[in-house]
Copies of this chain bind each other. A is one copy, B any other.
């Protein structure tokens, strides 16, 4: 690890490098083969799991900081990260935890050190195909791994609350934004698209209602091809109408007022 990315360097010089009191945390959801996962870091010298996050350089846009964290942890760029909530309770940072954590790493802090001041954090989330990600730990962690959403226990600070709020936001997003591009193959069947929605929502949906509603948004093109090889009648293939998909991303799905 390069010196300027070492824990010691960042803790001792962060006050000059970064904006005070503001961080970003990223909830990176991964979808692949009908599984939904979340990317977490195992912290050094601790049993805690944390969300990938970071600080904002003094002249860096806050959105760019989140994009940088995503890139550093996953290797991915060109991923749409969505700001979803600011977590700003005064007691959210555990000062003692930081001091002890850093002591174990051989770093002792001045009482005015920037890292033990109050921080608010801006939460971002992204949904990516986890098969294309190469997880990378950061300066404060030993591993970076995908976790099943259901099996995530207690987390560092308020990170569990941030994760749950992101999941709630992602689920609400299904009501007003299209989803699926870069998560499904270019051509997919209606049951495959339904399965994506069901996996995110964590519940079964009625087949006919799903089809009627998703078609009403006008973001799908039905192809003449069918998916052959199954035991049932070969289902038709669909692809996204990318022009309409992108319009719906900006303006909301049809079904607005």
Q: Which residues of A contact B (CB under 8 A)?
A: 19-22, 56, 58-63, 83, 85-86, 88-90, 118, 120, 122, 172, 174-176, 197, 201, 205, 210, 213, 252, 255-257
Say how many copies of this protein the assembly contains.
2
Residues of B within 8 A of A256 (CB): 172, 174-175
Q: Are A122 and B86 in contact (CB under 8 A)?
A: yes
Ranked 8 nearest A-B pairs via Cβ: A62-B88, A20-B20, A59-B90, A175-B256, A86-B122, A175-B176, A61-B89, A21-B21
Query: How far does the Cβ of A105 sit from chain B's closest Cβ, in whole Å?
Result: 26
Contact partner of A19 among B89, B120, B197, CB < 8 A? B120
Q: Are A86 and B62 in contact (CB under 8 A)?
A: yes
Residues of B within 8 A of A83 (CB): 85-86
Q: Are A88 and B63 in contact (CB under 8 A)?
A: yes
Q: Are A22 and B175 in contact (CB under 8 A)?
A: no
Residues of B within 8 A of A210 (CB): 257
20 contacts between A and B (CB under 8 A): A19-B21, A19-B120, A20-B20, A21-B21, A21-B22, A58-B118, A61-B88, A61-B89, A61-B90, A62-B86, A62-B120, A83-B85, A83-B86, A172-B176, A172-B252, A172-B256, A175-B175, A205-B257, A213-B257, A255-B255
Known interface pairs A174-B256, A175-B252; 19 further A-B residue pairs with C-beta atoms within 8 A, sorted by A's residue number: A19-B21, A19-B118, A20-B20, A22-B22, A22-B88, A56-B88, A60-B90, A62-B88, A62-B89, A63-B88, A83-B86, A88-B122, A172-B176, A172-B252, A175-B257, A205-B257, A210-B257, A213-B257, A255-B255
